[in-house]
Structure 1
Amino acid sequence: MKWFKRLLIAFFSLTLLGIGAIAAAYYYVLPELPDVNTLKTVKLQTPLRIYSQDGLLISQFGEKRRVPIEYEDVPKQLINAVLDTEDARFFEHHGIDPIGIIRAAVILITTGKKSQGASTITQQVARGFFLSNEKTYIRKIKEIFLALKIEKALTKQEILTLYLNRSFLGNRAYGVGAAAQVYYGKELKQLTLPEMAMIAGLPQAPSAANPIRNQRRAMTRRNWVLSRMLEKRNITQAQYEQAKQAPITARYHGAEIDLYAPYISEMARDYMIQKYGKEAAYTNGYNVYTTISSDLQRKAQKALRNNVFAYDQRHGYRGAKQVLWTDKPFTSEQIKSALKDSPVIQGITPAAVVAVHEKSADFITKNGDLITVPWSGLKWARKYISDTRQGRPPKQASEILNIGEQTWVRNNGKEWQLSQIPQVSSATVSLNPHDGAIETLVGGFSFNQSQFNRITQAKRQLGSNIKPFIYAGAIEKGYTLATLINNAPINKPDTRQGTAWRPKNSPDVYGGPTRLRVGLAQSINVMSVRTLRYVGINDTIKGLTRFGFEEDDLPRNESLALGSPSVTPLQVARAFNTFANGGYLVDPYYISSITDSYGNVIEKASPTIACKPNPEPTATSPTVDSNDPFAAMSQELSAIESDSSHLVDTTTEQAESSQTSHFCQADETNIAPQVITEQTAFLITQALKSVIWGGGNWSKGTGWNGTAWRAARLIKRHDIAGKTGTTNESRDTWFSGFNPTITSTFWVGFDDHNRQLGRTGWLADGPEGQISGAEAGAKTAGPGWNHFINEALKGTKEYPSIPPQGIVSARIDLTTGKLTRKTDYTTSFEYFVDGTQPTEYTNEAPETDEIFIDNSDEDLFQ
């Protein structure tokens, strides 16, 4: 009894001492314990995501991969796997597990080692959010008290959800949602039992035991998790045996990118960092929705890539990168090893030549694949001598390749062909004419090669792309499309540059007095210079700044008329947009909206709109959808076609009936400034259609081509307009064009401003429609634009050409530009701003009394 009393006293004493120690420890750490209620509103660090306008993921930025999930989204078997492995009594204890603590203490006393953990999932949440990972007793005490407080503040489901989202699971994956994507490229609901077990086993050793770095250790850990699930009767013996035999299928999966558009994603990333700071941008889970159309972006990328390939191939083959062997052939493994560090760029794959036949060659690629390139994929490879010279066309494969050489191949969608890394650069951008939304943006041939964004950062000489803006100024000062401008050599030089500058045509031929429409369509240099002289240098520069060009970029001399200013492709597209939308300068933008990690909109674009303020409604006012700035066209065309009595000799009735102006809705307050009149925009557009379609009568021998006649052969629709552009010595080439729904600019040149694009000779047995001679806007940049626009507009309706109010048409003599009463092939209808139409007739006998007629539903020069 005496010993029993002593033991009882000792027990109570120790109990009181323990309670006192716990109380003392609690009050000791209490000031350092954080408020666990913050877990209710905790922000998980999630990456920045960039999307297209239609919701496709373009890019993801941030050190931590995390896909936040809700408790209801987690498969039951994955929860079982986690609990059976980490905390089997999770739903029974209140934050700490006494049994686990006692077990860990016994092991510590008997072995002297901390080999057995005693932390519950709640304790791990406390440690993960509030404490460090240092193994100290004071940290453990804090962890225990925090766990108890967390259990009172949150439900079990909330605690487990935090744990499943927070845990580091290797390879930058945080949380089970990210782990499912990183290791298996799946969503949680798609995981198999062995995959769930693999993920559940990762928290204890996420780096050392993950299935990518150490498959053997990962399998051992996975099978132990399966055994725990079997022990807890959450799987059957048959499920256990089947899952245990499953192979390791994990491999690294990057972010599931739906649309590869690196230049626009880099622009969005930079904006977010500038606006919110790097840490917040990368961790707060922002979602940036750009204005990029995924369909158009893919088409623009393909058109640019194929256009660059075409330029590069017609200039010849520059030879192998290096020789891998000369005597003893490499094995497939040696070839793979030698090529492993050579990147694949835009589908151009490093490969080694292993056999050369008469009309074909065999290669082994860096992946170890054996491929054969037929003669159709080799015959282009005449020797590159310089940018202006190529060797003779090859007659057999041995003239091109030698066994043991490292070169490149690519699959063009039909077959393999010999290739090489292009040295030329290119860029393209497309805008919505109504509000300036950037719908496509490709800043270069390869982002991996160069992250330099040529759309926004490269200022290149504009060349003849400037001419429509020069002529627009002249039209607003009284010129018409029928005005005759002398196409003759300029004898009086411009000396503002310090030297005598005499512009010449390209080619150096002259045709005498020529109508403005023809001069712009054929890009006649001396006519552009004479037009600038008519407008004046100061007024020309003032006019160009209205289109968004910077005054500092505009030289005060006559070279301005031929495109000496250096501007970015985005500035060019913005300027051409004014012709497409009726004269409004809309600001380009590329971010539509930004949401936070909870889907709340924190920023929304408020773009400028190309429209007129809405007038007071009347009973007869037509309703026009502000989202379609050209909806009025079809209404007006229907009105004209339904009443043939419109063909009268008056101008006022015609102008009033063909009003195409569109008005803003009442809530549209960001109205873009109108920098030129609708009438000027319409007339320049008509001339730019002639750039593509030409004019005259071919059957009578009077037909003529515009500089972009290749576009007409491919696209075959009459609502497109555009302008070529070539600088001196072909250092920069452009094509900019539009229809009422899209404006697009293509640029091609070398990043080295001193390097010319050169010229090519005709290749016998070359591709259909091959290009030869000097490189120029029509031949170098034009084909890229042609193929893009052809694909972009495929299946869309063709818009009619409806003049705005104040435009009239009159039949003119094509030689003199004067009025005529003849109706044969020497005449045609021309559009004029009302009041500028000619009043003088040619010297001829009249054939009709009708001089001015409504021709609004008829395209000119068809």
Structure 2
Amino acid sequence: MLLFKRLIKVGLIFIFLACLSLAALYLSMRSELPSVTSLKDMQWQTPMQIFSADNKLINQFGEKKRIPLKLNEFPQQLINAILASEDDRFYSHFGVDPIGMGRAVLGKLMGQNKGGASTITMQVARNFFLSSEVTYTRKIREIFLTFHIESLLTKDEILALYMNKIPLSHRSFGFGAAAQVYYGKDVKDLTLAQIAVLAGLPKAPSNRNPISSPRNAKANRAIVLQRMYSAGYINSAELAQANQAPISGKRHSIEIELNAPYIAEMAHQEMVDLYGKELAYTGGYNVYLTVDSTLQSAAQKAVINNLLSYDLRHGYRGAVVSLRPELAKNENVIDQTAELSDEEVIEALNKIDNYQTLFPAVITDVAEQSATIKFLSHQENTQTILQEGEILWQGMSWAREFINDEKQGAAPKVASEILNYGDLVFVIKTAQGFTLSQLPEVSSALVSLSTDNGAIKAAIGGFSFQQSQFNRVTQAKRQVGSNIKPFIYSAALDNGFTLATLVNDAPINQWDQSSGVVWRPENSPPIYNGDIRVRLALAQSKNVIAVRLLRAVGLDNIIPHLAAFGFVPNDLPRNESLALGSASLTPLEVATGFATFANGGYLIRPYLIDRIEDSFGKILFQANPAMACDPCSLENKQQDIDNILDPFDLLPKKETPPLIKAERVISAQNAFLVTQALNAAIWGSDYQMKPFWRGTGWRAQTLKRHDIAGKTGTTNQSKDAWFSGFSRRLVTTSWVGFDDPSRNLGRTRYNSNLDKYQVTGGEAGAKSAQPAWIDFMAVALAAHPEEPFIQPVDIVSVRIDKSTGKLTNKTDKTSFFEYFQFGTAPTESVTQDNSSEILDGSRIFDESSNDDIF
């Protein structure tokens, strides 16, 4: 008994000394321990995600994959699996599990690894604040931090931190991200077998995951399931069924719902500028854009199809590479020893990327008017198999030889004139079969804005972001050609001209003393009609009229007037070539300028980001753009504007800040009159009165919408082609040209293998850029009912004589109603009889007269 009492006393002394030592150790380490209070307001390092206005995922930026979830958003079976496998007494211990710790210490003394020392709280302490080094000092710090965490947070809060923080390999952090990476699912959709696999990852994620080691994953899954069964979380039937399930895990990338890389990069750069690279990539921001997925997809399709059409009508440049070049000129007689093996074909195809709708294929047989191809097909199970197909004659007959941008070879008659055995080519799969194609060398851009507030609704910066990351919407400053003319005419209307003013359409010859040459701006085609009304001059894109108007207004007045539309004054040449489009602007700048005519005279500012949310949906930023709005109705238009900006009714309803009025830069009357002239560029025509005309944008009549207006643009030598046009609510600019400034868009001649509706002759704004505009607007306008341009106050309509612009009482084809600002209508009546100018029959229109090149 005496010995027992002494042992108790010695034991108490040792416990006292141990506690004293532990307290002293804590006091000595306290200043070095990190604060755990940050866990109360944890900011997760999650990637930035970019969404369209209708919540379609566009892209994700950031290496760490994490999907932060609240504890009640995790399925209970997953929580049970983690508790069973990691810390079954989590809700009963005080952060350190004495039973588990004792078992671990005993195992260490016996030279065995008994495990069980680290609780979930200790793992939280280690993962958030400490390294993974195996030292006693680190373990002691871990224990101290564990006590702090347990005193600060509830058990549920600690468990949620653990489940969101734990690294689970393949750059996934937390179980929400792991469910996506390994199974391509939301965590709530996991099966019991999949839950058990994930729950077994924390101890050794790199060699227990189902991608790197399916065998280890299966063995570890069995252990987790057995522990769940022993703890009473699952029954024997569930245990057996889950154990028999195959290991199905494979790497899943994030599912992109809207392919819009140029838009994604624009938003990405804005976020980096706003938050810095590190925070933008880890702050868990969800960035919602103004872009509508329907319009963006339509814009992409329009640009791709238009570039392919341009490229194919200029001829075939040949195979990407020939795998059997020695057979190319041997009349396709194949030596058996030279035949391509499937392995060679697969190796060659794997070296070539897909571009949009184009994918590589190898020619394995050439018949008289068809060819056999082999290509790679990607199956749902990620396997790639080699398949065979056939290009029929209608899919290759376009492919006459490309000689240069101005010239093409003769139309082919047989397939061997186009293809050879072993050619690696690009093809397109259509409903009609396979079509031979090629990667376009020409470039393009299309951008569409809301005319009410500048919201970017769609933007395409080129044929393929993979081919070129240069965003021509915002980065390509190109000469705008006749797209500048509406702004010149707007200045003229503010300086004494009307739509009925006659201006002399005659050649200009001006001696330039500084250069010693004569400047002779010409119409294209070089046809001159004498005195012509301003409306007709803009609709027909008369070059010499634009120069005469600039002279009448003066450069000192023109430059500030154009700058009011958002153009940078330094980008505007201070000479008369400005009237013909020598200024270099981006498509976004051009579209912004045209929006002012559409919205009644207001300058809108383009913007892309509508709002920014954190990972839990809290709004951190909400755009509040200035609106093109009448001041008398500014406060009452919010609901109408919301409906206009979301015609598809896809956006979540949310409170919006009060409207801000945009700056008025031209009068409503000026905007209306220019719009009327631009409407005539599409719908205006007169084949019954000399000089017989129709507007350069007449092809847009296929849209069957009278509430649109627009302007073509083509520069010298056809290096740039433009079409900019708008409805009341949407403005869109389309541009086509080569990145290489030495190349021009050239011309094409008739291909006898194609139909009679093919594009021929010199490339120009109406032929090269307008088709993409039309295709896009056909989709965009479908969401908007026809909405006429509202005639503002102080605009009157009077009947005038077409030839003279004077007042007339006649109601025949020699007259029509024209718009004037109040006080500017003509006061003199016509005295000459112009009825002899009316034609009895119709006149065939010469399409070539629509080229508006300066």
Q: Do these two structures clear the TM 0.5 threshold for a shared fold by scoring above it? A: yes
**Residue pair 2:596, 2:603 contacting (<8 A) in 1 also:** yes
**Residue pair 2:400, 2:412 contacting (<8 A) in 1 also:** yes
**Residue pair 2:540, 2:695 contacting (<8 A) in 1 also:** yes
* Distance (Å, rounded) in 2 between the aligned partners of 1:719 and 1:344: 39
- The answer to whether 1:388 aligns with 2:387 is no
Query: Which residue of the other structure, out of 836, 840, 853, is the alignment partner of 2:824?
Result: 836
**Residue pair 1:487, 1:524 contacting (<8 A) in 2 also:** yes
CA-to-aligned-CA distance 1:565-598 (integer Å, 9 cap, x gap): 1011111011101110111111111222222334
Query: Per-residue deviation at 1:358?
Result: 2.7
Query: Per-residue deviation at 1:688?
Result: 0.6
What secondary structure, in the 3-state scheme, does the structure 2 residue paired with 1:369 have? strand
Q: What is the aligned partner in structure 1 of residue 433 from structure 2?
A: 415
Q: What is the aligned partner in structure 2 of residue 635 from structure 1?
A: none
**Residue pair 1:585, 1:672 contacting (<8 A) in 2 also:** yes
Q: How does 1:357-506 map to 2 (within 5 A)?
A: 357-367=367-377, 368-412=386-430, 414-494=432-512, 499-506=517-524
Query: Which residue of the other structure, out of 664, 682, 692, is the alignment partner of 1:674?
Result: 664
* Distance (Å, rounded) in 2 between the aligned partners of 1:173 and 1:825: 74
- The answer to whether 1:59 aligns with 2:59 is yes
**Residue pair 2:291, 2:457 contacting (<8 A) in 1 also:** yes
Q: How does 1:186-201 map to 2 (within 5 A)?
A: 186-201=185-200
Amino acid at match of 2:70: E
Amino acid at match of 1:705: R
Amino acid at match of 1:94: F
Query: Which residue of the other structure, out of 536, 539, 546, is the alignment partner of 1:518?
Result: 536
* Distance (Å, rounded) in 2 between the aligned partners of 1:384 and 1:150: 73
Query: Per-residue deviation at 1:628?
Result: 4.2
User: Structure 1 residues 358, 450: closer, same or farther in 2, change over 3 A?
Assistant: same
**Residue pair 1:820, 1:844 contacting (<8 A) in 2 also:** no
- The answer to whether 1:266 aligns with 2:281 is no
* Distance (Å, rounded) in 1 between the aligned partners of 2:743 and 2:143: 71
* Distance (Å, rounded) in 2 between the aligned partners of 1:202 and 1:480: 77
**Residue pair 1:50, 1:288 contacting (<8 A) in 2 also:** yes
Q: What is the aligned partner in structure 1 of residue 771 from structure 2?
A: 783
**Residue pair 1:820, 1:846 contacting (<8 A) in 2 also:** no
CA-to-aligned-CA distance 1:762-803 (integer Å, 9 cap, x gap): 122325732111110000000000111111111531113442
Q: How does 1:579-728 map to 2 (within 5 A)?
A: 579-614=597-632, 627-628=640-641, 670-697=660-687, 704-712=693-701, 714-728=702-716
Query: Per-residue deviation at 1:496?
Result: 6.1
Q: How does 1:823-862 map to 2 (within 5 A)?
A: 823-844=811-832
* Distance (Å, rounded) in 2 between the aligned partners of 1:250 and 1:409: 34
CA-to-aligned-CA distance 1:49-105 (integer Å, 9 cap, x gap): 222222222222122111111111111111122122211222222212222222222
Q: How does 1:212-361 map to 2 (within 5 A)?
A: 212-325=211-324, 328-361=338-371
Greater shift in the superposed pair: 259-268 or 761-770 = 761-770
* Distance (Å, rounded) in 1 between the aligned partners of 2:832 and 2:545: 28
* Distance (Å, rounded) in 2 between the aligned partners of 1:318 and 1:266: 32
Query: Per-residue deviation at 1:261?
Result: 1.9
* Distance (Å, rounded) in 2 between the aligned partners of 1:630 and 1:472: 31
User: Structure 1 residues 496, 709: closer, same or farther in 2, change over 3 A?
Assistant: farther
Q: What is the aligned partner in structure 2 of residue 128 from structure 1?
A: 127
Greater shift in the superposed pair: 529-538 or 426-435 = 529-538
* Distance (Å, rounded) in 2 between the aligned partners of 1:667 and 1:40: 31
Identity of aligned residues (%): 51
**Residue pair 1:726, 1:777 contacting (<8 A) in 2 also:** yes
* Distance (Å, rounded) in 2 between the aligned partners of 1:604 and 1:291: 11
* Distance (Å, rounded) in 2 between the aligned partners of 1:616 and 1:387: 52
User: Structure 1 residues 615, 73: closer, same or farther in 2, change over 3 A?
Assistant: closer
Q: How does 1:88-103 map to 2 (within 5 A)?
A: 88-103=88-103
Query: Per-residue deviation at 1:117?
Result: 5.2
User: Structure 1 residues 245, 298: closer, same or farther in 2, change over 3 A?
Assistant: same
User: Structure 1 residues 519, 626: closer, same or farther in 2, change over 3 A?
Assistant: farther
What secondary structure, in the 3-state scheme, does the structure 1 residue paired with 2:373 have? strand
**Residue pair 1:494, 1:502 contacting (<8 A) in 2 also:** no
* Distance (Å, rounded) in 1 between the aligned partners of 2:686 and 2:366: 53
Q: TM-score, normalised by structure 2?
A: 0.90
Q: CA RMSD in A?
A: 2.5
* Distance (Å, rounded) in 2 between the aligned partners of 1:846 and 1:276: 68
Greater shift in the superposed pair: 453-462 or 355-364 = 355-364
* Distance (Å, rounded) in 2 between the aligned partners of 1:297 and 1:838: 46
What secondary structure, in the 3-state scheme, does the structure 1 residue paired with 2:363 have? strand
Query: Per-residue deviation at 1:846?
Result: 12
CA-to-aligned-CA distance 1:114-137 (integer Å, 9 cap, x gap): 673521111100101111111000
Greater shift in the superposed pair: 26-35 or 738-747 = 26-35
* Distance (Å, rounded) in 2 between the aligned partners of 1:529 and 1:205: 76
* Distance (Å, rounded) in 2 between the aligned partners of 1:768 and 1:254: 47
User: Structure 1 residues 117, 379: closer, same or farther in 2, change over 3 A?
Assistant: farther
Structure 2: 5+ residue stretches without partners:
328-336, 378-385, 645-655, 836-854
Q: What is the aligned partner in structure 2 of residue 733 from structure 1?
A: 721
Amino acid at match of 1:34: P
Q: What is the aligned partner in structure 2 of residue 26 from structure 1?
A: 26
Query: Per-residue deviation at 1:23?
Result: 3.1
Q: What is the aligned partner in structure 2 of residue 654 from structure 1?
A: none
- The answer to whether 1:762 aligns with 2:780 is no
Q: What is the aligned partner in structure 1 of residue 786 from structure 2?
A: 798
User: Structure 1 residues 616, 204: closer, same or farther in 2, change over 3 A?
Assistant: closer
* Distance (Å, rounded) in 1 between the aligned partners of 2:696 and 2:97: 83
Q: What is the aligned partner in structure 1 of residue 545 from structure 2?
A: 527
Matched positions, count: 805
User: Structure 1 residues 800, 273: closer, same or farther in 2, change over 3 A?
Assistant: closer
What secondary structure, in the 3-state scheme, does the structure 2 residue paired with 1:28 have? helix
User: Structure 1 residues 568, 369: closer, same or farther in 2, change over 3 A?
Assistant: same
User: Structure 1 residues 145, 630: closer, same or farther in 2, change over 3 A?
Assistant: closer
What secondary structure, in the 3-state scheme, does the structure 2 residue paired with 1:679 have? helix
**Residue pair 1:694, 1:703 contacting (<8 A) in 2 also:** no
Query: Per-residue deviation at 1:285?
Result: 1.7
Greater shift in the superposed pair: 451-460 or 592-601 = 592-601
**Residue pair 1:434, 1:629 contacting (<8 A) in 2 also:** no
**Residue pair 1:693, 1:709 contacting (<8 A) in 2 also:** yes
Q: What is the aligned partner in structure 2 of residue 42 from structure 1?
A: 42
What secondary structure, in the 3-state scheme, does the structure 1 residue paired with 2:53 have? coil
**Residue pair 2:803, 2:834 contacting (<8 A) in 1 also:** no
Query: Per-residue deviation at 1:250?
Result: 2.2
